[in-house]
């Protein structure tokens, strides 16, 4: 992790970067007397959409059934002829895409810098351990 962070600093520098909010989402709305930024409402909507799409993928598709089966019993899924390395690479790719998209959406709300991952890595690790790998809803 330190080597990658130093390589990033070497190529792009250690400066803080900020991104402007997209045009049309700079304002705010008043709902029931509460002033809410338009961009925050947009992020809430996109987050709910991503959660619904992931739920649909895992709960209602054949690929989701295969992924859930592989979480519980890798050997059995492998015996059925499904290439586990390809499956795990696909799941990793989906996760990386979602993480990148969410990072891009969250960037205008703060600044981007090398080392900003250190602040959140421990709480994320705790959530994964407590929630478990097979619990989408945290049950």
pLDDT digit string (tens) for 50-73? 999 999 999 999 999 999 999 889
pLDDT for 80-95, tens place per residue?
999 999 999 999 999 9
Name the stretches of the chain with pLDDT < 70.
Answer: 133-139
For 58, 65, 83, 84, the CA distances from 62, given in Å and listed in that order, are 8, 5, 15, 15
Q: Which residues contact 15 (CB under 8 A, 6 or more apart)?
A: 113
For the question of whether the overall pTM of this predicted structure is more than 0.75, the answer is yes
């Amino acid at each position: 992790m330190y080597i990658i962070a130093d390589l990033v600093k070497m190529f792009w520098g250690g400066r803080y970067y900020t991104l402007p909010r997209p045009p049309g989402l700079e304002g705010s709305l008043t709902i029931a007397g509460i002033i809410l930024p338009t961009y925050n409402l947009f992020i809430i909507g996109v987050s709910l959409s991503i959660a619904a799409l992931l739920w649909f993928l895992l709960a209602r598709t054949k690929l989701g059934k295969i992924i859930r089966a592989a979480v519980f019993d890798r050997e059995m899924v492998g015996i059925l002829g499904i290439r586990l390395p390809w499956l795990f690479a696909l799941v990793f790719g989906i996760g990386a895409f979602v993480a990148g998209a969410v990072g891009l959406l969250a960037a205008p709300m703060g600044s981007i810098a090398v080392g900003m991952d250190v602040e959140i890595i421990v709480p994320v690790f705790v959530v994964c351990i407590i929630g478990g790998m097979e619990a989408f809803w945290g049950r």
